[in-house]
Structure 1
Amino acid sequence: MRILICHNRYRQRGGENLIVDSEKAMLSERGVEVIEYVRDNNEIDGYGLVKKAMLYFTTTWSKEAEREIRELCRKYKPDVAHFHNTLPLISPSAYYACKEERVTIVQTLHNYRFLCPGALLLREGGICEECIEGDFRPALRHRCYRASYIQTRAVVRMLKKHRQMGTYEKMIDLYIALTEFVRTKFIEGGIPPEKIVVKPNFLRNPPDPKYGGDYAVYVGRLSPEKGVDVLLNAWKKIKRFQLKVVGDGPQRAQLESMRVENVEFVGAVPQEDVYSFILGARFVLFPSVWYETFGTVMIEAFACGKPVVASNLGSMAEIVKDKETGFLFTAGDPDDLAARVKLLIDDPTLAIELGRNARAEFDAKYTAEKSYERLMGIYASVIREKETV
């Protein structure tokens, strides 16, 4: 099988970029031929003023990306074009190029961009679903994309135009949601249920588990939607157990200024060092206040044999089984978070027991082998279904 992977990389190497790279490697290692069409938002730094201004229009329809992808389809004749992110340099025009070349199109839903210009279904620290049915005026009013009216308008223009054209229903043969919760949200947003299947993320090379530990750890971006301020407010009630915060982001200075005892800000570390911090911890914290579409850190924790204390919200409540692979707490509630954390601090044996359950859950659902079987099954079924139409 021959797969064309299309992805517009983000400036910061976050979870989505890592998953795309892992999926490519997983396929290649098992003999699948992979062709890539990759753009990078860092390209924009080299644009002149006119080309930057044109992004307002090319975000909706990039003739350059359309032409280049059409050429790749004609040259390599892929069986499937698998899309990840198209904003802003690829654009939905790429779907049309593939469709004209009779290439099957699969789109992974890494965030809520098709439903929300800000992609998070979050505004001012709270869940927001005002735009989910296609009226994007609230997003313009609140400048939901990068706090910029012009940039939000560019994204809204793209979403409205392609909703009107029927792009998201007619051009894409199948969507992959990372959890059942995400699938449900996109069905609410108008995607036909039969067009969305669920395949979770995975880890290619998980470490051997190590049960127990002598500190707690948070791994991730330091930004408002991640709920790290909630975590620090909970830690004011803990005090006697160390918390390591691994990661960086725009909220770091504000969080450090809270000066909470027994909290160490480690900063960003290479991906290979992330496992070292998780393996040394007793448990992992995941206090997000938005509808996470997945949260790869949770399955990294599971692989390491660590229970996860996560918000009882969105996909987190689907991945973490309360009292089996960790604990769920009321999102945004530092008191409830502190109460769950104390259970694992006071009872190291419980942490080990839940950690063993977590590793078993990882082995059952999140290995590369499981992911490969599921993904190849998805490709085969959508190709077969297209051929019978």
Structure 2
Amino acid sequence: MKILLVHNYYQQPGGEDVVFRAEATLLRDAGHDVEEYTVSNMEIGQQGKAGVAARTVWNAAAARTLNRMVRSGQHDIVHFHNTFPLLSPAVYGAARAAGAATVQTLHNYRIVCASALLFRDGHVCESCLGRLPVPAVRHRCYRDSVGASATVAAMQVAHRVLGTYRRDVDAYVALTEFARDKFIQGGLPATRLHVKPNFIDPDPGAGPGGGGYALFVGRLTEEKGVQTLLDAWRRIGTALPLKVLGSGPLVGDVEQAAGSVPGVTYLGQRGREEVMALAARAECLIFPSRWYEGFPMTIVESLAVGLPVIASRIGAMEQLIQDGVNGMHFEPGNADDLVRAVQSFLAGDRPRMRNAARETFVKHYTSAENLRQLMYIYGQARKAGGATE
């Protein structure tokens, strides 16, 4: 199969970039003819605010380029990972007009939420879900800017009115059933919404555990539940030492806690190899996120090494983690309930949970299983687009 993968890289590398590269490798290793078309947000400074705003809504140049690529390459599938902000939804129709079936992976909620998080002012927000995104502009939901938020809202409304999202994308890939339900509420066609999680390759294998510490890995931001984490560890302390990895706006709070709360250590930003080594020896991962999340690679990496996950009971985490089986749940934003969950974990059958965590990965998140699911979705996209198998 001839496949064109399309991605708009962010200025700060993230999980979407990792998945884009991983799927490209997966498809090539399976014998498919894979080409890539990418742009980077590093180019934004060269274009000016007005130019970027216009291209966010409709980038005719990118659409023409993609149309030529597909016609020339005779691609069967064009798989989009991110089109925001430099490509715009105009590229969907361009690819389809050139004869390819189109697939869009929904890594975040941008298509229905200006912030992409469904989170505002410290709590989950669905004010724009299935409605005109006026609240997004009023609350400056994108980059704390009325103008920038209005641009995202204009993109969403324009392509809803034009029918782009319903007509020009043959298959959407939601990362969880929970996310699929939210996108349906937001107006995407249920018949074209498929669920396929992310994966890890190569398989790191089960870790030994026994390190005697809990682990937090992620952006140090409000929506990631960092304050909940620190508040809980002021009570847990050395009963289960905590290692914190990551960077972000709340780094000062974490550094202060590391200097004053017994058992808390801040290790800063570390490379993936070191993160995986720490995860392999940890007792559990703490995942206190206060927003719905997409599909956290940190959780999948933890399950891969057999690391149980203590996660907030919200959004994707409620489906990825089974309470008392491969981890524990606690109420999001509730430090007292996080303390309870950690204490229950310490008193429970931890070897059994480690085995269950590893079994979850083997059953759902290997490269072989992911390829099988991806091929099925490509087949459905080609049927929706009128192509033959």
Shared fold per TM-score greater than 0.5 = yes
Q: Which deviations, in whole Å up to 9, do the C-alpha atoms of 1:151-209 show, x marking residues without a partner?
A: 11111111111111011111111111100000000111111211101111100112121
Distance 1:233 1:115 in 2: 33
Q: Which deviations, in whole Å up to 9, do the C-alpha atoms of 1:62-97 show, x marking residues without a partner?
A: 122112111211111110111111111111111121
Distance 1:153 1:286 in 2: 32
Amino acid at match of 2:336: D
Q: Which deviations, in whole Å up to 9, do the C-alpha atoms of 1:103-162 show, x marking residues without a partner?
A: 101111111111110100000110000000131111111100011111111111111111
Distance 2:94 2:320 in 1: 36
- Equivalent positions of 1:1-389 (< 5 A) are 1-45=1-45, 47=46, 51-213=48-210, 214-240=212-238, 241-258=240-257, 259-347=260-348, 350-387=349-386
Q: What stretches of structure 2 of length at least 5 have no aligned partner? A: none
Amino acid at match of 2:228: V
Q: Which deviations, in whole Å up to 9, do the C-alpha atoms of 1:201-243 show, x marking residues without a partner?
A: 1001121212432100011111111111111111111011211
Cα distance, 1:345 vs. partner?
3.1
Distance 1:328 1:91 in 2: 38
Contact 1:26 1:372 in 2 (8 A): yes
Cα distance, 1:14 vs. partner?
1.1
Distance 1:260 1:14 in 2: 30
Cα distance, 1:388 vs. partner?
7.3
Distance 1:378 1:139 in 2: 32
Q: RMSD between aligned alpha carbons?
A: 1.4
Contact 1:211 1:282 in 2 (8 A): no
Distance 2:113 2:385 in 1: 29
Deviates more, 1:224-233 or 1:258-267: 258-267
Q: Which 4+ runs in 1 deviate beyond 6 A?
A: none
Distance 2:139 2:112 in 1: 15
Contact 1:283 1:351 in 2 (8 A): no
Distance 2:93 2:35 in 1: 18
Q: Which deviations, in whole Å up to 9, do the C-alpha atoms of 1:7-61 show, x marking residues without a partner?
A: 101111111111111111111111111111111111223x15xx33211111111
Decide whether aligned partners of structure 1 residues 2 and 43 sit closer, same or farther in structure 2, where only a CA change above 3 A counts. Answer: same
Q: What stretches of structure 1 of length at least 5 have no aligned partner? A: none
Contact 1:180 1:198 in 2 (8 A): yes
Cα distance, 1:381 vs. partner?
2.5
Distance 2:237 2:249 in 1: 25
Contact 1:230 1:332 in 2 (8 A): yes
Distance 2:155 2:283 in 1: 45
Distance 1:99 1:353 in 2: 49
Amino acid at match of 1:233: D
